[in-house]
Structure 1
């Protein structure tokens, strides 16, 4: 039996993960802004479901809840940083407050959860951190700029931090789903104030799709299958660095990375030409910033 700590469990992947884990006999520390959304699971599973109210934009609350979880549960084997949502629309359609909250939830909240967890996981001799990112951390669509900023940001954070904590037995997996049949494009989505100048562009098309007035957005991802794949990854001895889930995620990711690599390779001679004359590099060998 593993003990899991999961944020954002009232809906979406967090809810599916919680249901599946409890059903297989694991213990779950589930956090949500409104814990009453978990009452039905608490009635069935009793003490194997530990709950706490948490808004991940409150850093002090993150630390308090994490500390209490370790005191009351003893250990946490797997942490799933899942809380998040999408702020959609053209860049100038969002308000300052909307931008701040998007970053505070998806990016800063995930970073601070990791920072609160790492000392405990290090003290217990290791653990697994699973960050729910997105294929939107590898690619970008118009009318989703702030969402993409947070997902690209959290991927960069864990790319760096994972190497720091690996010696302590703590491994990190970035989960990159495509579009799934969750509440992301419905109740969980936040839209900026529509500006007429964007009505005929991508922002207007996205608004029409979300409101049911235009073609529906393709959503191939099955949330239960995605949750099962995430759970299976935590059971692997060696944690995958990334878990790309969904045919759309795979195809979009491959296309974007090939395009980026092609552009990078075509600029190789220019890149090398800007080195200092006294700098010696072994051509084609990966550089390192560390001694």
Structure 2
């Protein structure tokens, strides 16, 4: 598979923009979705023949299916990158219903529907790669990020199941779990709920330090991360998960080891709920 044509959601900034720039420089065709065309005018001007811009709000399920149906009539899409998403910060109690519904529709349901829409064409062509941009926050939870974690834990479970469903069709799945990176995700597009006085000084507001560049920038380089993601498509079989960033990997391993250790203390408890042998 030469992976000539990529469909990437949310290419106006961050990982999506960095990946698109690198792929176009390599001679690939990129179909990139945005909500604001002005943010990709540079790509449209520089690569008029290989960059295809499409307007899409991934919370609009009907629009997703219409767009994918249109694109697959003209292109063989080799790689789908679900990149569109944003962060929402605040204690669970501080979040509004609209904020909750919006982040689930964007970070979870939007990715699910993109996968469902593209799978028929990938099955028909006999190959494909699905790349889901998640976060190490799909494995590790922090206070003040409850709904972001809900979306990322959810999409990781979905993609892990889908990976097993589509492997026989020569479709690979990779879940990308970046750590903190110097992108607009952290320093521009992050949304913060209206604070409640009751949570002043609470761990739920620790994110405020992270979002202020004056307290130090994130260690992750989005361009290097984009390169590693692109390179993963050449791997066969597809790596199910990729953690990007040394701090992210360290925190993920520590969290999983603690979780496994806790499970191992529950052996007798778990067995106590089984029917006795022979019954």
TM range (shorter): over 0.9
Correspondence for 1:140: 141
Structure 1 residues 253-290: Cα deviation after superposition (integer angstroms, max 9, x where no partner): 1000000000011111221221112579xxxxxxxxxx
TM-score when normalising by structure 2: 0.95
Deviation of residue 69 (structure 1)? Answer: 1.4
Correspondence for 2:275: 276
Correspondence for 2:19: 17
Matches for 1:201-280 after TM superposition, within 5 Å: 201-211=202-212, 216=215, 219-278=218-277
Correspondence for 1:55: 57
How many correspondences in the alignment? Answer: 277
Q: Is the 8 A contact 1:78 1:129 kept in 2?
A: yes
Cα distance in 1, alignment partners of residues 49 and 183 from structure 2: 27
Q: Is the 8 A contact 2:85 2:107 kept in 1?
A: yes
Structure 1 residues 92-140: Cα deviation after superposition (integer angstroms, max 9, x where no partner): 1111000000000000000000000111111111200000011000010
Cα distance in 2, alignment partners of residues 174 and 204 from structure 1: 28
Correspondence for 1:283: none
Correspondence for 1:166: 167
Q: Is the 8 A contact 1:134 1:176 kept in 2?
A: yes
**Structure 1 pair 149/201, CA: closer, same or farther in 2 (3 Å)?**
same
Deviation of residue 209 (structure 1)? Answer: 4.4
Cα distance in 1, alignment partners of residues 276 and 209 from structure 2: 56
Correspondence for 2:68: 66
Q: How much is the aligned-residue C-alpha RMSD, in angstroms?
A: 1.5
**Structure 1 pair 144/254, CA: closer, same or farther in 2 (3 Å)?**
same
Deviation of residue 49 (structure 1)? Answer: 0.6
Correspondence for 1:285: none
Structure 1 residues 51-109: Cα deviation after superposition (integer angstroms, max 9, x where no partner): 10000000011111111111122x01111000000010111111100000000000000
Q: Secondary structure at the match of 1:47?
A: coil
Correspondence for 1:128: 129
Correspondence for 2:89: 88
Cα distance in 2, alignment partners of residues 216 and 150 from structure 1: 27
Deviation of residue 250 (structure 1)? Answer: 0.5
Q: Secondary structure at the match of 1:4?
A: strand
TM-score when normalising by structure 1: 0.91
Q: Is the 8 A contact 2:144 2:206 kept in 1?
A: no
Deviation of residue 182 (structure 1)? Answer: 0.6
List gaps (5 residues or longer) in structure 1: 281-291
Q: Is the 8 A contact 1:30 1:51 kept in 2?
A: yes
Deviation of residue 160 (structure 1)? Answer: 1.1
Q: Secondary structure at the match of 1:164?
A: helix
Q: Is the 8 A contact 1:199 1:205 kept in 2?
A: no
Cα distance in 2, alignment partners of residues 279 and 232 from structure 1: 53
Q: Is the 8 A contact 1:135 1:249 kept in 2?
A: yes
Structure 1 residues 13-41: Cα deviation after superposition (integer angstroms, max 9, x where no partner): 00000000001111101111112321111
Matches for 1:169-184 after TM superposition, within 5 Å: 169-184=170-185
Deviation of residue 218 (structure 1)? Answer: 5.5
Structure 1 residues 157-205: Cα deviation after superposition (integer angstroms, max 9, x where no partner): 1111111111111110000001111111222101110111112122333
